[in-house]
Structure 1
């Protein structure tokens, strides 16, 4: 990483002089940043929003469909991990030439639907159905992931998608969702690169973490999957796996999963970029909210979210939660039917009401092109918002609405069951659910100094705000953010959406 930004690995005496030098003449730095931005390179994050039928063509710019992900005409095997699976809908989105011959493995977590999906599978001889065993009746398999093994002529390749959507029509057409797709993964060769972040002689960290997660299922179907995954080259994957596995985790396993996994990666790998060190906020967002206490939210959840490798250079950021108001829900495409996926239980909210509203921010998806599409999307992001986004002569935004220090897309809702609950003086982490997500941060792009910027449908290739120390040759990684930036707190007249409105 010698060519990367000179950020501190350790908190030492060099920190202050480096920052003073970087910001010594703001006017000169702004001029240089603007000139450098004109010559910038843009890189693909792998993250996209999904297509939504209630949006305009412009709002659906650069979105993906389920068919885009699994409709490869060269598909030979598909491993489909999810919570809820409509098998007919899954098969409809496969290429016509492979839907009867490709081998389809479905690993799902909707216990109530097991008889239905197994009966439906009888119509498709090439489909196998599996359901992981759970530790207790409150745990679910909630991870959402697709692994494709393909072959074109004699060339074999694989591709992986980590998503937030269940496999059903409504999830892929009427809700705000996100996907992360790896690059095409070729078979390994003797020339597979090694590197501090993206590769090693024993396989890339992405590969090792991905396989470790599926090994934890302790099922023959996932063990077989792991052996196949080992054949492919993951070194081009610029993402880190953040997963949850049910259990009472102790010792080294505490930092392998859930909240402690995220904190471990943030603390060991992620330097908060200079522009976010003194002014940033952590925006958390999910579609369902579990039962938790103020103590868990402030002393476990928020503490882990604030992790970083350079804490002495950073102010302590607020940790906010974005959730739609009743007005936003009622004016959405799904209206009161949103209760089917916006699971803020009224009884749960009553217990949170004395303290949680001060952490709430509105959805406000207009700028993100998702004002009338309610989120089943789950994301956790540290960013610095741009309070005065510049526009061109036509009124179109040209600057990013935020600089992003890190961004996590995941299946995990805001709950102890998904993220884990520390017990026994922090020596044990109790998790109930299977969850899967991917974390992005600038240093994953080892080749050049990199800035991750918030994009939207009207500004898909944003330029950096003036406060970003941008230089010629830097890489920009745009990530489309669907909610409002800067975030707006609930006011006294706003009411959080809960299931009470449909009970």
Structure 2
């Protein structure tokens, strides 16, 4: 539908969400794509040094109904744009004609960093063919073989790919009670990768002699994935659980043609705008069985210069033959819940794995499983999935805390869905009700809610530069419908300066003390901030509708014999001396957006300041 606002008129997508609602990787458009539309708004720069032009006419890329993909690019259109930007960057150039221009005032402070790009034509036409009424746009330049890059603000190692020691396998500390890890990030000092894991570490023979594996995920690069397995395991059977349909499915299967040991299982997605967003590995060894629940897609970009999180289970031993059906259960009922989650796929390909899990001892697990599966649920089934599942666990396994009304909720994510015209429609209604549950307290507190999401400046100065925004698919169409949300936003700042420039794809939620030294609970999950991922109540709260598959693990202090988790604010380099402090993956206290900050919006241009590679961002 069309909508007017202070920022112009454009077509609004019917999509509920961003990353979740975009079609899976490789989808080919089944209907004509909406044309780009012009929006006349005041300019707001990404706070660089340099010229500030006045009012401009800009082309905004509408959120796609479908997401075409080339043979070289995998993922949503935002990710495809990032890859295109990296392959054929648009260099930043200053222009004398822009000098001395004043930025026009934005009456309500809600302006966006829109540039003067001419959408698809900007790289073909250059400056001369743009409308005379607009300031000149930077010219597109093909990358030159011997072009010198600008000095890196992140040190000399920034431009190095994976150094020789990057793939040296490492085993986490044996006395780590939480088994929560971040990924390795290329281009950082080694100490900031201490205790972190790469996918090659996870699949290393150091963790077991692999026989078979299952990879659940949203986005796949099959050839890259196969290469991450050690040579001795590279031909072992792999089952891919995905949500792709039609052309996207055909492209995924085509990727696997050179690898006969790779098989597929298609997840059923019967509700519009749902995706298979779960990211999990099941690893079956000669020595036992292991589960890894992560936030990373199976593509190189997600394991390169982004902040990701994961929970790695202990090695689960095989039960003695003849063990009872209830044997090997953990105090958190992780085995029961994992089997229930796998059964929800109703997939014959997973039956063998369900039986294998039944034959193993999962009793050492100390986290709770929180999953989402597509459907509409009523009665007691409402508490099986989504945020009501989290609410039930918090009700049953946490305790009320004195002064809890001052304990803020902190959410951190890489994609944002449509949540309604005001905050009470979902965010501060049913979702906050879940997030503020502490035991059986009847207190209905309304504590602060801090939402961590990268600003334009965070993305611009990141290790990847503007292309990092390809995995932050918050669209202008969704953002303009919920300007109220932006008052909740806080800057992304990873723990210690060394990690702050690796843009987040991790998703975490927690409840912290007012001084941010204690946690009441913590969850790492694939679920972004959206109704599609967490579910939304319907029919006067008698039904919950969930669109997507998601999976995460919940940490509660009682499962670790504690009342609260002490916060470990500086987890790098990793040290066993703080083994009972929880390694929160971002700076505390959170830093609120300044008046100059704007949330990253993927489908509008940013051309007023170069990123760390000397490039600008032109959606085309």
Q: Given the two structures, how large is their TM-score scaled by the length of structure 2? A: 0.65
Q: Pick from 190, 194, 200: which aligns with 1:57?
A: 190
Higher RCO (C-alpha 8 Å, min separation 6): 1
C-alpha displacement of 1:458: 3.7
Instruction: Identify the residue that residue 325 of structure 1 maps to in structure 2.
Output: 455
Misfit runs of 4+, over 3 Å = 110-113, 189-195, 197-200, 276-279, 312-316, 448-452, 457-464
C-alpha displacement of 1:95: 1.6
Q: Alignment length, in residue pairs?
A: 426
Per-residue displacement from partner, 1:171-225 (whole Å, max 9, x unpaired)?
0112110010011100124999999x9737xxx6100001101100000012222
Instruction: Identify the residue that residue 286 of structure 1 maps to in structure 2.
Output: 413
* 1:210 is the counterpart of 2:338: yes
Per-residue displacement from partner, 1:409-453 (whole Å, max 9, x unpaired)?
00001111111110011111111100000000111124x767342
Q: CA RMSD in A?
A: 2.7
Q: Pick from 418, 429, 438: which aligns with 2:533?
A: 418
Write out aligned runs for 1:471-486 (5 A): 477-486=580-589
Q: SS of 2:503's equivalent?
A: coil
Per-residue displacement from partner, 1:335-355 (whole Å, max 9, x unpaired)?
2112321011111111111x1
C-alpha displacement of 1:113: 3.6
Write the distance in 1 (CA, Å) between the matches of 2:570 and 2:470: 27
Write out aligned runs for 1:325-404 (5 A): 325-353=455-483, 355-365=484-494, 367=496, 369-384=498-513, 386=515, 402-404=517-519
Whether the 8 Å CA contact 2:367–2:553 is kept in 1: the answer is yes
Write the distance in 1 (CA, Å) between the matches of 2:279 and 2:344: 16
Instruction: Identify the residue that residue 610 of structure 2 maps to in structure 1.
Output: none
Instruction: Identify the residue that residue 297 of structure 2 maps to in structure 1.
Output: 166
Q: SS of 2:191's equivalent?
A: coil
The structure that has the greater radius of gyration is: 2
* 1:85 is the counterpart of 2:220: yes
Write the distance in 1 (CA, Å) between the matches of 2:400 and 2:292: 27
Stretches of structure 2 lacking an aligned partner (at least 5 in a row): 1-173, 606-617
Instruction: Identify the residue that residue 285 of structure 2 maps to in structure 1.
Output: 150
Write out aligned runs for 1:216-365 (5 A): 216-272=344-400, 277=404, 279-293=406-420, 294=423, 295-311=425-441, 316-353=446-483, 355-365=484-494
C-alpha displacement of 1:284: 0.4
Write the distance in 2 (CA, Å) between the matches of 1:54 and 1:408: 28
Stretches of structure 1 lacking an aligned partner (at least 5 in a row): 1-40, 387-400, 465-475
* 1:441 is the counterpart of 2:544: no
Q: SS of 2:192's equivalent?
A: coil
Write out aligned runs for 1:127-206 (5 A): 127-151=262-286, 156-189=287-320, 199=330, 205-206=333-334
* 1:495 is the counterpart of 2:609: no
Distance change (3 Å), C-alpha of 1:437 and 1:55: same
Instruction: Identify the residue that residue 120 of structure 1 maps to in structure 2.
Output: 255
Write the distance in 1 (CA, Å) between the matches of 2:438 and 2:200: 38
C-alpha displacement of 1:314: 8.8
More strand by share: 1
Write the distance in 2 (CA, Å) between the matches of 1:489 and 1:87: 40
Write the distance in 2 (CA, Å) between the matches of 1:191 and 1:320: 50
C-alpha displacement of 1:461: 4.9
C-alpha displacement of 1:138: 1.1
Per-residue displacement from partner, 1:256-277 (whole Å, max 9, x unpaired)?
0001001111111112566x73
Q: SS of 2:355's equivalent?
A: helix
Whether the 8 Å CA contact 2:374–2:549 is kept in 1: the answer is yes
C-alpha displacement of 1:123: 1.3
Per-residue displacement from partner, 1:125-145 (whole Å, max 9, x unpaired)?
211112212113411100000
